[in-house]
């Protein structure tokens, strides 16, 4: 799924960000951080890939916090 973060289609990159965030996998974090900082491409619905990456990072952090405290 991390391969989709470099796809030319911003919609696919944004979807990959959300999916990767829900995995909370450490291997996804560098790609999410990179996209959150640098990918200002707009999706078909007008959102930014960077925003989707930020959402993915927040989701990953929330999941990791819940599993750490459980």
Cα(14)–Cα(68) distance, integer angstroms = 27
Is 52 in a helix, a strand, or coil?
helix
What's the chain's length in residues?
Answer: 70
Provide the pLDDT for residue 69: 81
**Dihedral sign, Cα of residue 4, residue 6, residue 16, residue 48:** negative
- Res. 58: pLDDT tops 80: yes
Cα(49)–Cα(43) distance, integer angstroms = 7
pTM equals 0.92
Q: In the structure encoding, which two tokens stand for residue 5, read together?
A: 């973060």
Any idea of the CA torsion for 39, 31, 7, 55, to the nearest 10 degrees?
-60
- Res. 7: pLDDT tops 90: yes
């Amino acid at each position: 799924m991390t391969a989709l973060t470099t796809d030319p289609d911003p919609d696919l990159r944004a979807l990959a960000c959300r999916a990767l965030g829900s995995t909370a996998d450490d291997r996804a974090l560098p790609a999410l951080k990179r996209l959150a900082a640098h990918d200002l491409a707009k999706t078909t619905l007008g959102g930014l890939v960077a925003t989707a990456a930020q959402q993915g990072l927040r989701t990953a952090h929330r999941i990791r916090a819940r599993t750490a405290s459980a």
